[in-house]
Amino acid sequence: MKELVFEGRDNSIDLLLKVSTLTDPTMQVADLTNVTRMVLTREDGLAVDSDKESAIFDWATLATSGIVSIQLGHINLKNTKDKWRLVVFDATNDKGIVWGDTDFQIKVEQKYADNT
């Protein structure tokens, strides 16, 4: 999966989180109501943490729809393409769960020269 971030813009990356269990292997929309924290980690160790950057992540608005919106345009990520993982925390998973079975890429596009 590849996501695009526009530097300095309000565009969001919206991820639909799904889950299955041992008793029900069918992928179903995750309920994010009890999520307490999310961390987006890059393969080189850089992390964007909702505890430090609370305005970047919004999982509460569409919690029962399983959608998290992530606005990375206002963080200096540099114009690069890297692999990332999303780690989701709640009261019963205080060490976090790595979401999904694959990394995804975020490509950062710089602003145009006119800064509008």
Please check whether residue 77 lies inside any domain of the structure. Answer: yes
Please check whether residue 25 lies inside any domain of the structure. Answer: no
Please check whether residue 116 lies inside any domain of the structure. Answer: no
The pTM of the full predicted model, rounded to 2 decimals, is 0.86
What pLDDT is recorded for position 101?
A: 66
Please check whether residue 38 lies inside any domain of the structure. Answer: yes
Please check whether residue 114 lies inside any domain of the structure. Answer: no
DSSP state of 12: -
What confidence tens digit (pLDDT) does each residue in 50-107 have? 999 999 999 999 999 999 999 998 888 876 667 889 999 999 999 999 987 667 788 8
Q: Closest Cα partner for 66 from 101, 34, 31?
A: 31
Residue with tokens 């800064």: 115
Please check whether residue 36 lies inside any domain of the structure. Answer: yes
- Radius of gyration from C-alpha coordinates of the chain: 15
- Above pLDDT 90, what percent of the chain? 52
Please check whether residue 80 lies inside any domain of the structure. Answer: yes
| Count of CB atoms situated within 10 Å of the CB of 94 | 9
CA distance 83 to 69: 18
Q: Where are the alpha helices (DSSP H) in the chain?
A: none
Q: Strand order in 13-16's β-sheet?
A: 13-16, 67-70, 57-58
Domain that holds residue 89: 2-20+30-109
Please check whether residue 115 lies inside any domain of the structure. Answer: no
**63 Rama class: left (phi>0) / alpha (psi -120 to 50) / beta:** alpha
- How many domains would you assign to the chain? 1
* Domain CATH for 86: 2.60.40.10
